[in-house]
Amino acid sequence: MKTPLHWLALRTVVAWLATLVLVFPLLWLVMTAFKTEVQAIATPPLLLFKPTLQNFATVNAQSDYLRYARNSLVTSLGSTLLGLLIAVPAAYSMVFFRTRRTRDMLMWMLSTKMMPAVGALVPIYLVAKFTGLLDSLIGLTTVFTMTNLPIMVWLLYTYFKDIPNEILEAARMDGASVWKEFRHVILPLGVGGITSTALLAIVLSWNESFWSLNLASFKAGTLSTLIASYSSPEGLFWAKLSAASVLAIAPIIVLGWFSQKQLVAGLTFGAVK
């Protein structure tokens, strides 16, 4: 039975309306980024205006945008690389040298991610303070690595599990060493899974807003920290805030679209199949 046409039309209209209402704040943010500060607070709000790129230049000149962007890039890429370095061998070991305790181990790792970050705030803050890692890129990168590690191990585990064991056994029969087996079998077959995992880790680190607000400020602050600093400024700043936000959000939304499947899998710990 085919859906009647008027039904389809109604559903289309309602779906588009709902979508536009939900993304309206974002569209508005993008528009404001291209307005002058005076236009940004015009009453009634301006829908048509001559776009300007002035804000993007001002944001960079005033708030040292590029430094915060570099910090975001360093911490998210650094923590992702470090995370892969730890998580890939772990997942490999769990899948291909499975023991009775593997399952419990994986569950334990996931359970650490279920702890609220605020539960570890005091000790982590104190350790960072007394080791001089407060407001440092190394400290923040380490923290990001650890917050994402359980999800990375778990995601890689599910990807590696799909690699047929026979291929590995064949390689082992041929006398391949563990390193060769890893280099010539696991890596080529698992590269898709590793890439997806890396993408997710980058998105999560980039948007991380608990530790970057509590452990970093002027020196190691990320874009999230920079944007938070607009929370109580003086004078006209909406257009500048919007420009800074658009620059911080745009690249990650694009990456996010590519990694939405991993994102859901990672954030739900595989509880949804």
Question: 47 to 86, contacts with another protein by CB under 8 A?
Answer: 85-86
Beta carbon nearer to another protein, 11 or 219: 11
The residue range among 9-17, 58-66, 163-171, 190-198 that interacts with another protein, by the rule CB under 8 A, is 9-17
- By CB under 8 A, name the one of 59, 69, 84, 124 that touches another protein: 124
Question: 131 to 170, contacts with another protein by CB under 8 A?
Answer: 145-146, 149-150, 153
* Residues whose CB is less than 8 angstroms from the CB of residue 121 and which lie 6 or more positions away in sequence, other chains included: 214
Give one DSSP letter per residue of 141-160, joined into a string: HHHHHHHHHHHHHHHHHHHH
d(CA 258, CA 254): 7
Per-residue binding letters, 222-261, with another protein (x by CB under 8 A): -xxx-xx-xx------x--xx--x--xx--xx-xxx--x-
Question: 33 to 52, contacts with another protein by CB under 8 A?
Answer: 40-45
- Work out whether 269 is an interface residue with another protein (CB under 8 A): yes
Report the Cα–Cα distance between both ends of the chain, in Å, rounded.
29
Min. distance of Cβ 80 from another protein in angstroms? 15
CB 217 within 8 A of CB 232: no
Eight-class DSSP state of 53: -
Strand, coil or helix: what is 124? helix
Give the total of residues touching another protein (CB under 8 A). 98
d(CA 62, CA 65): 8
- Work out whether 186 is an interface residue with another protein (CB under 8 A): no
